[in-house]
Amino acid sequence: MPRARLAIEVGIAVIVLSVSLLAPDAMAGGAPYGYGVVLSNETTTYDFVGFPPVAAIGPLDVELLAGAFIGGDYSTVYAIDADGNLDTVDTATGAASPVGSLGLEPAPRASLGADPGSGGLFAILGDNNCDMTNLYSVDATTGATTLIAPVPECVASVAIDPAGLLYLLDTNAQALNVIDILGTETTLGPLGIALNPSARIAIDPVSGGLFLIEFDLGSFTNVIFAVDTTTGAATLVGPLGGENPISAPVLAPAPVGPPDTIFADGFDPPARVH
Compute the distance between CA of residue 121 and CA of residue 100 in angstroms, rounded to an integer: 14
In a domain, 263, yes or no: no
pLDDT at 162: 86
Tell me the whole-structure pTM to 2 decimals: 0.82
Q: 101-120 pLDDT, tens per residue? A: 999 999 899 999 998 888 99
Compute the distance between CA of residue 175 and CA of residue 157 in angstroms, rounded to an integer: 12
Question: Using 50, 70 and 90 to split pLDDT, how confident is the model at 84?
Answer: very high
In a domain, 258, yes or no: no
Q: Which residues pair with 64 in a beta bridge?
A: 81
In a domain, 274, yes or no: no
**120-131 CB burial, b ≥16 within 10 A, e <16:** bbbbbbbeeebe
Sequence letter at residue 268: D
Count of C-beta atoms within a 10 Å radius of residue 88: 17
Inform me whether the pLDDT recorded for 59 exceeds 50: yes
Query: Edge to edge, what strands does the sheet with 175-179 contain?
Result: 3-5, 184-190, 175-179, 166-170, 155-160
Compute the distance between CA of residue 123 and CA of residue 253 in angstroms, rounded to an integer: 23
Q: Which of 173, 157, 132, 135 is nearest to 65 (CA)?
A: 157
**CATH of residue 17:** 2.120.10.30
Q: Which of 135, 144, 157 is nearest to 104 (CA)?
A: 144
**Structural domain harbouring 92:** 3-251
Highest mean pLDDT among 12-16, 153-157, 211-215: 211-215
In a domain, 267, yes or no: no
In a domain, 105, yes or no: yes
Compute the distance between CA of residue 211 and CA of residue 169 in angstroms, rounded to an integer: 11
In a domain, 156, yes or no: yes
Exposure on the CB side of residue 130, measured as CA atoms within 13 A: 10
Sequence letter at residue 211: F
Give percent above pLDDT 70 in the chain.
83
Average pLDDT, the chain: 83
Q: Which residues pair with 133 in a beta bridge?
A: 126
Inform me whether the pLDDT recorded for 205 exceeds 80: yes
Compute the distance between CA of residue 158 and CA of residue 35 in angstroms, rounded to an integer: 16
Question: Using 50, 70 and 90 to split pLDDT, how confident is the model at 257?
Answer: low
Burial of 39 (0-12, 13-18, 19+ CB in 10 A): middle
In a domain, 259, yes or no: no
In a domain, 30, yes or no: yes
Q: Report the number of distinct structural domains present in the chain.
A: 1
DSSP per-residue string spanning the chain = --EEE---------PPP---PPPTTTTTT-SPPEEEEEE-TTTSSEEEEEETTTEEEEEESS-EEEEEEETTEEEEEEEEETTSEEEEEETTT--EEEEEE-SS---SEEEEEE-TTT--EEEEEE-TTSS-EEEEEE-TTT--EEEEEE-SS-EEEEEE-TT-PEEEEETTTTEEEEE-TTSEEEEEEE--S---TT-EEEE-TTT--EEEEEEETTTTEEEEEEE-TTT--EEEEEEEE-SSPPEEEEE-PPPP-----TTTT-SSPPP---
Per-residue pLDDT, averaged over 257-271, amounts to 44
